[in-house]
Amino acid sequence: MTRNSEAELVFLPLGGSNEIGMNFNLYGYGPPHARKWIVVDLGVTFGDLTTPGVEIIMPDPTFLEEHVDNLLGIVLTHAHEDHIGALPWLWPRLKAPLFATPFTAYLIREKLRDAGVLDQAVITEIPLNGRLTLGPFDLELVTLTHSIPEPNGVAIRTPLGTILHTGDWKIDPDPLLGEVTDSAAIQRLGDEGILAMVCDSTNVFVEGEAGSEADVRDALTTLIKGLSGKVAVGCFASNVARMDSVIRAAEAADRRVCLLGRSMHRMAGAAKSVGLLSDVAPFVTEKEAGYFPSDKILYLCTGSQGEPRAALSRVAEGNHPQVTLGAGDSCVFSSRVIPGNEIAIRNLQNRLADRGVRLYTDRDHPGIHVSGHPCRDELAQMYAWARPRIAVPTHGERRHLLEHKAFARDLQVPEQIAPRNGDMVRLAPGRAEIIDEVKSGRLFLDGGVLTPENSEPLRERRHAAHNGILVVSIVMDKRGRLADGLEIRSIGLPGDADNPLEEALDDLADAIEAAINRLDRKEREDDTAVEMCVSRTVKKVSQRLWERRPVVETIVVRVG
């Protein structure tokens, strides 16, 4: 390839910059009017109390759809949901070739099969440390360590320089499953010259190192050996090394393992497809587990984040069809608390405790979980190996990205830039700078329908959740006279013995009736005018009565 003086190398995050999760990163090469694009990762994040009724959130791909003819491929670094979870919904809008290592490819196929689009997709398996060429991009996978099998960094060579996109990583000297971080490959790339490193920022505020999975295995083995009764362990299904550690700890305690939750079974299948979990005893089914003595069984469960339909929540609620936990049993949480899930996890743990279950978390047993992301010492080591000219923090909230930028400056990285989603960064030629801002945003999966984050239904739902709902039914004759008393139903509005809700609704009805009677006859004969009058009156009076502005639904019925 010959260098074109008009060509530019750009980085464009559309998800994962200014937030943790929902990774969606674009790299473009060529003159502005004819750039070729590749995508690295296409993930989701999850709803919280601010998104009532919405569990899955994904990036808005509108910009890329407008350039889909120049999209060469989608490369997946690893199989976590925040890196591949949006594929079932967004891949049909992009239809680009997919590239992944075998474990990740297995799970991608399962997702696309469930979505009914697997037969349309072209999925190419890339071996660990493999290479591929997509137009002007020469890509090389770099083996890293993380909390899932086959995590990869991606070295992206172009005529204008090489980018190292780390994906999620840490430096684990003993990951138990998979290879250790390929530091030699990173140093070799550093020797060749790395233009920019786009790097994980999750733990930039945490001093030291994340810790090794081998230490977790030792801690879990010691803990589980000392427990009596039934034992449940909640962890992320995607952390196959943790699954393996729990299984080995169960075997050391003479317990058989029962998997609870669809994701556990799916991940176990993916692991076995690439030769992992091959030497463990067969898992027992939920039905079979019921015949084992309590001190001979361990349940490995999904739902450590308090997800309402996950296995552990069903057990805590007492509505799992075949598994119960109670006094004398134990539940071990071998996972971190994802920000935003604190309330759900606390509620889950309280329900389990109320059943007499003894709880063990990393707060009281710090060794039973370690992070999958790099702390400051590991970041410093990565920069020492890679020696990039430009530091581009990603995978973090704004405060993470800015701290990472400052940390890279302290490490003597010549240039640092911390873009937001939608900021197009020109990496070469010249100094790194933001040259454009493109459409970005979020799509909410709401009742199976993808809607923009500011869609009217969600705005109404938020409004109703905070302010309540009033439904006003009015019967009028065709001449605009009230033919019967008003009926008002309320949802979510307060009242007590000192301030009865019924009296407040009567006051509201009197105010509505008076407002309607002040309308002239032509307005009273117009349903729209009546509805507007009712809405204005309800909002004004509700502010006085409840300090609320409820959602108002007015029903006008004409008789006679």
Give every CB contact of residue 212 below 8 A, 6+ residues apart in sequence. 172, 173, 174, 175, 370
Residue 340 has pLDDT above 80, yes or no: no
| Candidate from 6-10, 362-366, 374-378 with smallest mean pLDDT | 362-366
Residue 2 has pLDDT above 50, yes or no: no
Q: How confident is the model at residue 51 (pLDDT cuts 50, 70, 90)?
A: confident
pLDDT of residue 1: 37
Kindly state the tokens that stand for 444: 């909410």
* For range 273-301, the mean pLDDT: 95
Give the max Cα distance, the chain: 89
From CA 306, how far away is CA 316, in angstroms rounded?
10
Specify the fold of 213-365: Rossmann fold (3.40.50)
Q: Phi first, then psi: what are they for 45, rounded to 5°?
A: -125, -175
* For range 459-475, the mean pLDDT: 88
Q: How confident is the model at residue 478 (pLDDT cuts 50, 70, 90)?
A: confident
CATH, range 468-559: 3.10.20.580
From CA 560, how far away is CA 558, in angstroms rounded?
7
Q: If we measure between CA atoms, which residue out of 155, 131, 158, 139 comes closest to residue 2? A: 158
pLDDT of residue 464: 85
Give every CB contact of residue 263 below 8 A, 6+ residues apart in sequence. 237, 238, 302
Q: Tell me the three state secondary structure of residue 485.
A: coil
pLDDT of residue 532: 93
Quick one: 9-208+371-452 is in which CATH superfamily? Ribonuclease Z/Hydroxyacylglutathione hydrolase-like (3.60.15.10)
Kindly state the tokens that stand for 427: 């990496």
Residue 54 has pLDDT above 80, yes or no: yes
| Candidate from 56-60, 138-142, 339-343, 431-435 with smallest mean pLDDT | 339-343
pLDDT of residue 41: 98
pLDDT of residue 5: 53
Q: Is the model more confident about 24 or about 53?
A: 24
pLDDT digits over 115-166, tens only? 999 999 999 999 999 999 999 999 999 999 999 999 999 999 999 999 999 9
From CA 144, how far away is CA 153, in angstroms rounded?
7
Question: For residue 489, what are the β-bridge partners?
Answer: 471
* For range 54-74, the mean pLDDT: 95
Residue 180 has pLDDT above 70, yes or no: yes
Q: How confident is the model at residue 3 (pLDDT cuts 50, 70, 90)?
A: very low
Q: Phi first, then psi: what are they for 173, rounded to 5°?
A: -70, -15
Q: Say if residues 375 and 368 touch (Cβ distance below 8 Å).
A: no
**HSE on the CB side for 272, CA within 13 Å?**
12
pLDDT of residue 443: 95
Domain boundaries, the chain: 9-208+371-452, 213-365, 468-559
pLDDT of residue 309: 86
Q: Say if residues 472 and 554 touch (Cβ distance below 8 Å).
A: yes
Q: Is the model more confident about 495 or about 371?
A: 371
Q: How confident is the model at residue 61 (pLDDT cuts 50, 70, 90)?
A: very high
pLDDT digits over 524-533, tens only? 989 999 999 9
